[in-house]
């Protein structure tokens, strides 16, 4: 496809699709990779000399809304001295629009993070099928990837992206609040019953203290993970095994919703949205130190390390009746068809799976995306986790279920989040789940058929 037609196509699709920007981010840590993780100075110099002789300089344009990758760019440049990365900032603009504007200007970008579903990009010919690149890549030939690694990023047998970052999540624990109420830090094999009981034990409304933070993350992340743990759904956000239908309105999942709703209506260990607002929004932020548990990912670590006035730690998501799954998000990274430097651009993609890049990401609080004993052992060395429950971090990485949606037709119309917020933290009728889910299940099947 010629770049002019691509630009016109992107502009057209941008008018049709509503793009929801993702807030997933890796957080910059002051610790730099150790010298042992880098190429020796003499080898680096020789490599650089050879590179200069054999390669013309290349500058890759990388569309990203994060400003925390500078150290990673430097690691990449050290490995490929003839290639530099220039970040194209998003600045709250839809990425589809940025791609279109760069194409129209005749300066197409090379690589992009994806801020919405992959289907829109694939249908408009904007991103490459990575399969042939991966098959001949020396880096990918050497690494072991988790089972189902490409499941959420494959459409019509095309591998459309790799994870720029694997964003893990954990249960945040206010150890001081637990200790105040005579409760010890739970073990890593704790259960959802333990979670509920401890939340009640540390609740003291007179002191403005509650077991669980009033945050959408609790229902969005933990509740759908509990459904998997108890055998009520196969995938996150209540999806079935092949991601074709939602089980949100099934009796078991509706009972799961009632279970969490009772934290507000029966136990009093979590405030409703209205009650939290009326009391000054203190219990809506874990950092305030007035709640025992919350859900957090790598994005919360810098704030907690810098500003928390209490002793905090992390736990894996609790065990259910059949398993103890965790929750993780892949931030997709794709190679643009308009790139003038596809081979070099794929080097940036494949570099993400080298040990130096993986260790750098662990240092920021992200998961390792590669199965490797050396990387697993590196969690024990990462400065960001010193003094914390490192085994919980490893369990969360090993047990992670990946958030779907990137290649699920009609995902943006799946109203699982808002309706569950209104049920758990508000007064919406739980039976509203039934017509909402039936309508979406019908729509996603229709869209799936149309895309064949």
* Residue-by-residue DSSP string for 244-272: S-B-TTSHHHHHHHHHHHHIIIII-SS--
Q: Is the pLDDT of residue 49 over 90?
A: no
Q: Is the pLDDT of residue 270 over 60?
A: yes
pLDDT at 36: 32
Q: Is the pLDDT of residue 33 over 80?
A: no
pLDDT at 10: 47
Which is it for strands 162-174 and 326-335: parallel, antiparallel or unpaired? antiparallel
Please compute the mean of the pLDDT values over residues 417-435 and round it to a whole number. 97
- Gyration radius (Cα) of the chain, Å: 23
And the tokens for 232? 């009520």
Distance CA 336, CA 109 (A): 7
Distance CA 379, CA 385 (A): 7
% of residues, the chain, pLDDT over 90: 84
Q: Where are the alpha helices (DSSP H) in 319-407?
A: 342-351, 355-363, 373-378, 390-398
* 293 close to 171: Cβ distance less than 8 angstroms: yes
pLDDT at 452: 84
Distance CA 374, CA 32 (A): 18
Q: How confident is the model at residue 201 (pLDDT cuts 50, 70, 90)?
A: very high
pTM (two decimals): 0.87
Please compute the mean of the pLDDT values over residues 105-126 and round it to a whole number. 92
pLDDT at 311: 98
Q: Is the pLDDT of residue 412 over 60?
A: yes
pLDDT at 66: 87
φ and ψ of 85, to 5 deg: -110, 130
* 155, β-bridge pairs: 158
And the tokens for 90? 């998003």
Please compute the mean of the pLDDT values over residues 435-443 and round it to a whole number. 98
Cα 430 to chain centroid, rounded? 28
pLDDT at 116: 74
Helices (H) and strands (E) in the chain, counts: 20, 11
Q: Is the pLDDT of residue 40 over 80?
A: no
And the tokens for 245? 């239908």
Please compute the mean of the pLDDT values over residues 219-243 and round it to a whole number. 97
**DSSP-derived 3-state class of residue 368:** coil
- Domains recognised in the chain with CATH numbers: 3-164+330-390 (3.40.190.10), 168-328+406-450 (3.40.190.10)
Distance CA 209, CA 191 (A): 22
318 vs 35: which has the higher pLDDT: 318
pLDDT in tens, 274-330: 999 999 999 999 999 999 999 999 999 999 999 999 999 999 999 999 999 999 999
Q: Is the pLDDT of residue 4 over 80?
A: no
Q: Is the pLDDT of residue 395 over 80?
A: yes
Question: 429: exposed, middle or buried (C-beta count within 10 Å: 0-12, 13-18, 19+)?
Answer: exposed
Q: How confident is the model at residue 16 (pLDDT cuts 50, 70, 90)?
A: very low
Distance CA 69, CA 77 (A): 12
Q: What CA–CA distances, in Å, run from 13 to 6, 347, 416?
A: 10, 29, 25
């Amino acid at each position: 496809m010629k770049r002019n037609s691509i630009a016109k196509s992107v502009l057209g699709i941008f008018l049709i699709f509503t793009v929801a920007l993702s807030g997933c981010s890796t957080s910059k840590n002051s610790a730099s990779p150790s010298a042992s993780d880098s190429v020796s100075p003499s080898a680096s110099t020789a490599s650089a000399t050879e590179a200069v002789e054999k390669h013309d300089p290349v500058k890759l344009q990388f569309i990203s809304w994060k400003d925390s990758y500078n150290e990673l760019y430097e690691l990449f440049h050290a490995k490929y001295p003839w290639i530099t990365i220039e970040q194209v900032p998003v600045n709250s603009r839809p990425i589809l629009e940025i791609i279109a504007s760069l194409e129209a200007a005749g300066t197409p970008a090379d690589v992009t993070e994806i801020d919405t579903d992959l289907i829109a990009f694939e249908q408009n010919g904007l991103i490459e099928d990575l399969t042939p690149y991966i098959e001949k890549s020396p880096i990918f030939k050497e690494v072991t990837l988790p089972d189902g690694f490409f499941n959420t990023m494959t459409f019509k047998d095309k591998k459309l992206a790799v994870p720029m970052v694997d964003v893990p999540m954990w249960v945040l624990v206010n150890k001081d609040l637990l200790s105040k109420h005579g409760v010890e830090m739970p073990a890593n094999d704790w259960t959802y019953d333990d979670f509920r009981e401890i939340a009640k034990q540390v609740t003291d409304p007179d002191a403005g203290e509650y077991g669980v933070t009033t945050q959408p993350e609790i229902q969005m992340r933990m509740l759908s993970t509990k459904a998997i743990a108890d055998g009520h759904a196969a995938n996150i956000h209540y999806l079935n095994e092949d991601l074709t239908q939602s089980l949100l309105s099934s009796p078991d999942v509706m009972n799961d919703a009632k279970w969490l709703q009772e934290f507000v209506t029966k136990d009093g260990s979590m405030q409703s949205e209205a009650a939290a607002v009326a009391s000054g929004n203190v219990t809506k932020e874990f950092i305030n130190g007035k709640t025992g548990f919350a859900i957090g990912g790598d994005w919360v670590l810098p704030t907690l390390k810098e500003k928390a006035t209490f002793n905090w730690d992390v736990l894996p998501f609790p065990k259910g009746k059949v398993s103890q799954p965790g929750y993780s998000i892949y931030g997709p990274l794709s190679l643009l068809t308009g790139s003038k430097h596809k081979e070099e651009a794929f080097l940036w993609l494949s570099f993400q799976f080298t040990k130096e890049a993986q260790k750098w990401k662990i240092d920021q609080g992200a998961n390792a995306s590669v199965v490797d004993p050396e990387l697993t052992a590196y969690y024990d060395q990462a400065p960001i986790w010193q003094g914390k429950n490192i085994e919980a971090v490893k369990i969360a990485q090993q047990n992670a279920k990946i958030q779907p949606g990137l290649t699920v037709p009609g995902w943006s119309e799946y109203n699982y989040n808002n309706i569950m917020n209104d049920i758990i933290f508000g007064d919406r009728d739980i039976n509203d789940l039934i017509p909402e889910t039936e309508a979406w299940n019908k729509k996603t099947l229709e869209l799936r058929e149309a895309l064949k």
